[in-house]
């Protein structure tokens, strides 16, 4: 009976000392370490959300997206409505007319714009740098004789002496220039009008006599506008011919909208970008004149979005997604060393190594917030690799294996950093790298006798 008990005890002890049991415990520990790794990801998300709140607060005060729609010639006209009037005594029905004032809107024949968009990095809130811009925009062009006949309006019904110019634009509170427009030789001031919708604000000049001002049925215009803004600058191509030029010191533009920038002249570099568009009336399906109401033409908008390249939190989040890979491969290296060298590594020592790997991400976030992602990554990587390498010396009792571990971690962190920096080739490089890592693991593990339960 005692011999049977002793044999069961030996069998039980031999199982927990077996390669299978050790693999199970290391695997279980790897899964347990996913919990603090997820907490780190939550921390990154929380810090990123806080940054976005600060950015929204600053852009609300400084200025948001710039959308420009205009200029538009506005001319009032008399519209008549007929109604029947019945004489109460004779019962004779007569037709009478009543006149109301409506408005006709005419888009320009030519519209040209040259915008210079400058980055502003002075708005710092705590540890966050908020990147916004100042846009200096110069407009010029011409109005030709309005085609009121297409609207079914008679010339005698048009009130030419009460014409005005209107501009619809967002971000009225962030316009920083004097608001006036020169029409031929006359200068008129813009005034802000009650908003007609929740998106655009309206600027309108005082009235003028179109017939008197028009020179050979043409009115030339030019004006300047300066905006404080953020995120994007976009236009509605209201000119029969619309030409837009945008120059900026922003190095990461995203061209958006219905119309593409000219590929032959578009340039993007580290010092900024240049883009231009030329849009004809045949390129868009809306008219040059409207009665009663200006249509919503936002679907025809185009321009540039001044995006911020992947910020430090997005990069940290991408790095944390490889956390499971880093922990798993590091444990695998230690396990292979343990199996090859017959050195015993306790599960507690695996735990310390795993926590050190988790600390990489907290160091990365905290250092990056006060410097840059690259510098934070290098400092956090060197710190964690040095810590694990020195700890490995005491665990493995020699310098050969710790040196190999240090080099392996250096290669792994370098590989992950390269993947994070890549965009178009991240999947390709990542797949090739993982394939090579698998090949290395298969090579170094080829001589291990997995059938020896006591190895």
Name the more confident of 320 and 137: 137
Q: Give the pLDDT confidence of 273-320 residue by residue, as tens digits.
A: 999 999 998 888 888 999 888 888 888 999 998 876 656 777 777 777
Q: Give the pLDDT confidence of 13-68 residue by residue, as tens digits.
A: 454 556 666 777 777 877 888 788 888 888 777 777 777 777 667 767 777 788 88
Rounded CA gap, 397 and 389, in Å?
A: 12
- At residue 181, φ and ψ (nearest 5 deg) are -135, 140
Which pLDDT score, from 0 to 100, does residue 376 have? 86
pLDDT above 50 for 145: yes
Rounded CA gap, 243 and 279, in Å?
A: 7
pLDDT above 70 for 453: no
Residues 6+ away with beta carbon under 8 Å from 109: 141, 142, 143, 144, 218, 239, 240, 241
The mean pLDDT of 347-363, rounded to a whole number, is 85
Which pLDDT score, from 0 to 100, does residue 403 have? 87
**pLDDT band at 244, cuts 50/70/90?**
very high
Which pLDDT score, from 0 to 100, does residue 138 have? 94
| Mean of pLDDT over the chain | 80
**pLDDT band at 433, cuts 50/70/90?**
confident
Share of the chain above pLDDT 70, in %: 82
**pLDDT band at 9, cuts 50/70/90?**
very low
pLDDT above 60 for 452: no
pLDDT above 80 for 340: no
The mean pLDDT of 409-437, rounded to a whole number, is 76
Share of the chain above pLDDT 90, in %: 15
Q: Give the pLDDT confidence of 370-413 residue by residue, as tens digits.
A: 777 888 888 988 998 899 888 888 887 777 888 888 888 888 88
Name the more confident of 98 and 301: 301
* Token digits of residue 261: 């920038």
């Amino acid at each position: 009976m005692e011999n049977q008990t002793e044999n069961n005890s030996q069998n039980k002890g031999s199982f927990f000392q077996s390669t299978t049991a050790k693999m199970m415990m290391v695997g279980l520990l790897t899964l347990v370490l996913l919990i603090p790794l997820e907490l780190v990801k939550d921390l990154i998300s929380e810090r990123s959300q806080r940054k976005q709140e600060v950015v929204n607060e600053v852009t609300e005060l400084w200025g948001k997206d710039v959308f420009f729609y205009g200029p538009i010639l506005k001319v009032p006209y008399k519209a008549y409505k007929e109604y029947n009037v019945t004489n109460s005594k004779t019962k004779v029905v007569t037709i009478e007319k009543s006149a109301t004032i409506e408005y006709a809107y005419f888009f320009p024949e030519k519209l040209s714009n040259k915008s210079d968009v400058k980055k502003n990095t002075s708005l710092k809130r705590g540890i966050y740098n908020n990147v916004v811009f100042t846009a200096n925009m110069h407009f010029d062009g011409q109005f030709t004789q309005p085609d009121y006949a297409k609207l079914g309006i008679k010339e005698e019904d048009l009130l030419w002496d009460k014409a005005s110019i209107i501009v619809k634009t967002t971000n009225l509170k962030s316009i920083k220039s004097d608001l006036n427009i020169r029409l031929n030789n006359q200068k008129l001031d813009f005034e802000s009008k009650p908003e007609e919708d929740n998106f655009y604000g309206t600027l309108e000049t005082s009235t003028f006599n179109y017939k008197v001002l028009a020179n050979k049925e043409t009115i030339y215009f030019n004006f300047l506008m300066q905006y404080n803004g953020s995120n994007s600058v976009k236009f509605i191509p209201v000119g029969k011919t619309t030409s837009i030029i945008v120059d900026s010191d922003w190095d990461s533009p995203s061209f958006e909208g219905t119309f593409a920038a000219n590929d032959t002249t578009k340039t993007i570099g580290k010092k900024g970008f240049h883009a231009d568009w030329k849009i004809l009336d045949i390129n868009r399906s809306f008219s040059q004149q409207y009665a009663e109401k200006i249509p919503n033409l936002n679907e025809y908008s185009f321009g540039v979005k001044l995006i911020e390249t992947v910020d430090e939190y997005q990069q940290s989040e991408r790095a944390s997604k490889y956390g499971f890979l880093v922990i798993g491969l590091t444990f695998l290296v230690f396990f292979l060393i343990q199996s090859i060298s017959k050195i015993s590594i306790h599960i507690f020592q695996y735990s310390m190594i795993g926590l050190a790997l988790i600390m990489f991400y907290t160091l990365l976030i905290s250092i990056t917030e006060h410097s840059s992602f690259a510098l934070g990554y290098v400092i956090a990587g060197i710190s964690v690799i040095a810590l694990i390498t020195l700890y490995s010396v005491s665990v493995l009792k020699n310098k050969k294996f710790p040196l190999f571990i240090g080099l392996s971690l250096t290669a792994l962190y370098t590989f992950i950093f390269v993947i994070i920096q890549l965009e178009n080739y991240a999947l390709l490089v990542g797949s090739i790298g993982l394939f090579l890592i698998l090949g290395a693991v298969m090579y170094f593990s080829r001589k291990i006798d997995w059938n020896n339960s006591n190895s």
